[in-house]
Amino acid sequence: MLALALAIVAALSAAPPKRPAEPQEARTWEARIRKVYEPTSIPSSTFEPQSKLIAGPTCPKGRAEAFRIGFAPWALKVELAPKNPRSFSKLRVVVRKLAPGVDGYTTYRSAMARGCRLDKSGEALFQTGGYWISVQGTCGSKELFPYEVADFLKVFNEPGAAAPAELIYAACSVPPKFMTLKEAKAEGARERNVGGVQLPGARRPDKPGAQKPGKP
């Protein structure tokens, strides 16, 4: 009996930590993201229930100013691994619930007026309905990032989601700028040849000659 009890204790101690319970709004955002990306990517997610201060832009060297967006009661992180890395890039999407009264766009406008910029190699930022959303890419796939941002706009077409009027866009040390959703969609519709792959056609499985997800 003692041996059995010790075995049970050992098994329990070796079990992975249980994922924290998520509010319905976090589960709703995850479902929206999965619906848009599951045809082309393999999503995995984590949930952080603790309140954290959201970092803002970084100012030029020598400045003492530090910009912060405000506190977020929780954060949902969704990693997206592409099935076809030639046409789609690896992404991380972070959805944060904003504390009441927090305005990320105002913070960024103030920081950008002082020459501050984003740290990330590629990032698009959205504020909508009390949420702060970050779509993060890499410099290794910077040519694909405009298409990723345009694809993410489809998330706002899902039931209950409110599309923002604008977003903040930056890629690979380029100073951040505000864009309208119309401008972001236009960037995602531009024809480009990236490594022998014609975009955006190769990202559309329904188009003749397009590469199917998972087939490089």
Q: What is the pLDDT of residues 102-148, one digit of tens each?
A: 899 998 888 888 877 665 568 899 999 899 999 999 877 888 889 99
State which amino acid sits at residue 59: C
Query: Encoding tokens for residue 29?
Result: 């955002």
Residue 210 pLDDT exceeds 80: no
Residue burial 68-84, b: 16+ Cβ < 10 Å; e: rest: ebbebebbbbbebebbb
**Beta carbons of 91 and 103 less than 8 angstroms apart:** no
- Return the pLDDT at 50: 84
How far is the CA of 57 from the CAs of 12, 20, 97, 177, in angstroms?
A: 43, 29, 19, 12
- Return the pLDDT at 14: 52
| Rounded-to-integer distance, Cα 36 and Cα 158, Å | 9
Give the number of other Cβ atoms within 10 Å of residue 45's Cβ. Answer: 19
Q: What is the pLDDT of residues 181-202, one digit of tens each?
A: 999 999 999 998 888 888 888 8
- Return the pLDDT at 81: 94
- Return the pLDDT at 66: 72
Q: What is the pLDDT of residues 59-91, one digit of tens each?
A: 766 666 778 888 899 999 999 999 998 889 899
Q: What is the pLDDT of residues 159-169, one digit of tens each?
A: 999 999 999 99
Element (H, E) at 24: helix 24-37
Lowest model confidence (mean pLDDT) among 72-76, 154-158, 174-178, 182-186: 174-178
Residue 212 pLDDT exceeds 60: no
- Return the pLDDT at 175: 72
- pLDDT band with cut points at 50, 70 and 90 for residue 216: very low
Residue 34 pLDDT exceeds 60: yes
